[in-house]
Amino acid sequence: ASVVCVDRDMKRAEETAKDIQAEGGAAISLQADITQPDDAERIAQISREHFEKIDILVNNVGIGGGGDGPPHKLTEDAFDRIMAVNLKGAWLVTKAVLPFMREQGGGSIINISSLASIAGGFQMAYEVSKAGLNRMTRSVAMSNASRGIRCNAITPGLMDTPMAIGGISKARGVPEDALRQERSKRVPMGFMGNGWDTAYAALFLASEEARFVTGAILPVDGGGSARIG
C-alpha cells in the first residue's frame, strides 16, 4: 500500500508512516488542519503528486469532548468546533479529492462515523456531526456512482481505544479497568471492539471485493445498533 498519513500533530503522522514502512508499505506524513480549505486542497495535491493517483480516501478524523452535552448544556463554541472537524473537515477533503477520482475514473471514500449517529442523546454536537456524515456519505455516493466512485461509512460502537478509554476515564474520574468492564456489559456481544475491527471493515470497503457496495452505513458495534432497532 502507498499511504499519505495526515494529522494535525506531525509526530503522530510520522509514527503511523513509520509503522506502514516497517510492514513494507510506502508512506509519507503530512501535517494539516482539515477545517482549512487550503490544507484540504494541499492534502489532495501532495497525494496526487507523490503517488500519481488517489484510489482511496479514509476520513478518520473525529473529536468530541469539552462543552458538548445535551441541547440545554451544549456550548456554541463546542458545537462550532465539533461540526467543523467532524463534518466540514470531511467534506472539504472529500471535495478536494473528488476531481482527481472523477478524472481517473474511480475511487473509494470511507467515512468513519459512529453508533452515536443513530443513538445517544447526551452529546448533541457529536451525534449531529456524525449523523450529518452519514447523510453526506450517501450524497457523495449517489452523485458519483456513475463515475466509478464508491462512498461508504462505518459506524463503530463502543470501542476499546486509547483515545476513547483514556478520555472518558479522565473526564469521569473512573479507573480505566472499571470503565472497560462497564462499557463491555453494554455491548450485546459482551465485549468492546478495537481499532483493528474498524480497520478491517475499512479494508473491505476499500477493496474490489466491495465493488458493488456504495452508500452503505456499515455497523461495527457488536450488535449495538441491532438492539436499538
CB atoms within 10 A of CB 2: 15
Q: What CA–CA distance (Å, rounded) separates 181 from 74?
A: 28
Choose the catalytic residue: 32, 40, 126, 132.
Answer: 126
Per-residue cell: 6: 495526515
What whole-number distance in Å separates Cα of residue 145 and Cα of residue 73?
40
Judged on CB neighbours under 10 Å (0-12, 13-18, 19+), 170 is exposed
Does 200 qualify as catalytic in the annotation? no
Calpha distance 200→175 (Å, rounded):
29
d(CA 194, CA 164) in angstroms, rounded, equals 10
- β pairing state of 217-220 and 26-31: unpaired
| Cα(152)–Cα(111) distance, integer angstroms | 6
Task: Give the residue numbers annotated as catalytic, written as ranges.
Answer: 126
